[in-house]
A and B are shown apart, each in its own frame.
Chain A
């Protein structure tokens, strides 16, 4: 893979303050993500998503959602027992369903002001991913503040599913037959599941059941 060196330029902190370093690390993480997406455009199906894998089988759950809807929180909960693949962008080979892991640092809020710090998955106790992870199921997360527990589960038909996933893709138009590629992925994995929830903890037992079903 060739990457334009200019895209990998790292912006140095303006001074030695912890806040400058915190911001510089955030920018670096975002820049690396952007470079990877650019490099894989036209090769992988890329979703704005988190993913974890079964440690023995590599069967993987992909959680597609916009920013701020609980992907990182869910990843931290599931990643204690299932391999951490990413909390940001999931790249999938269209022909095989194989996932390219991107185990980046997670942006975790600390302290009263809720500032986010790039935090190593090792420091968070997350499990390493299976070496050959492949998509078992794609889940669309919809956070509804105040929604009663437990989370609701809904399977979408193929057109609703593809229409719902498209806004959460990157560089989809660079792939040949982009809509067909997403539809074929859903044929391989089963229908898209939409989970509507309030707290990420509600999703853990549902996801464990999905792993059991995929076994």
Chain B
């Protein structure tokens, strides 16, 4: 998925030790891994995969056996699928 992403309409978020819980409407709970938590936090304003990949790699290191862009894209897709992130409107 291409484009820029922002946080979805989570009702609340709770962080502890680098991981997070989100409460999404109406009452669905999603638990985020440390990488997903970092991506979610980075998306307080619109970010692209190109923005995210180097930041994630710097913090967590390169993924085994594939490109960082591919790994980040997969996590972003998952966050969009559960409603934690959404595509940012074009400006």
Residues of A within 8 A of B (CB): 157-159, 162-163, 166-167, 172-173, 177-180, 183
Chain B residue contacts of A173, Cβ below 8 A? 11, 23, 25-27
Least distance between A160 CB and chain B CB atoms (Å): 9
Q: Name the residue of chain A whose CB is nearest to the CB of B10.
A: A179
Chain A residue contacts of B25, Cβ below 8 A? 173
* Cα distance A182–B74 in the bound complex, in angstroms: 31
User: Most chain-B CB neighbours within 10 Å: which of A159, A166, A177?
Assistant: A159
* Cα distance A209–B25 in the bound complex, in angstroms: 39
Interface pair B12/A166, CB less than 8 Å apart:
no
Interface pair A159/B12, CB less than 8 Å apart:
no
Residues of B within 8 A of A (CB): 11-14, 16-17, 19-21, 23, 25-27, 29, 31
Q: Which 10 A-B pairs have the closest CB atoms?
A: A179-B14, A179-B12, A166-B29, A158-B16, A173-B27, A178-B12, A159-B16, A179-B23, A159-B21, A177-B12
Dominant SS at the A interface? helix
Q: Name the residue of chain A whose CB is nearest to the CB of B22.
A: A179
Least distance between B23 CB and chain A CB atoms (Å): 5
Interface pair B19/A166, CB less than 8 Å apart:
no
* Cα distance A190–B43 in the bound complex, in angstroms: 33
Chain B residue contacts of A157, Cβ below 8 A? 16-17
* Cα distance A183–B14 in the bound complex, in angstroms: 8
24 contacts between A and B (CB under 8 A): A157-B16, A158-B14, A159-B16, A159-B31, A162-B14, A162-B29, A163-B21, A163-B29, A163-B31, A166-B23, A166-B29, A167-B29, A172-B23, A172-B27, A173-B11, A173-B26, A178-B23, A179-B12, A179-B13, A179-B14, A179-B21, A179-B23, A180-B12, A183-B14
Chain B residue contacts of A162, Cβ below 8 A? 14, 21, 29
Q: Name the residue of chain A whose CB is nearest to the CB of B11.
A: A173
Q: Name the residue of chain A whose CB is nearest to the CB of B26.
A: A173
Question: 8 additional contacts, CB 8 Å, given A163-B21, A167-B29?
Answer: A157-B16, A158-B16, A159-B21, A162-B14, A163-B31, A173-B11, A177-B12, A178-B12
Chain A residue contacts of B14, Cβ below 8 A? 158-159, 162, 179-180, 183
Given A166-B29, A180-B12, check contact A159 B19 (CB 8 Å): yes
Least distance between B36 CB and chain A CB atoms (Å): 13
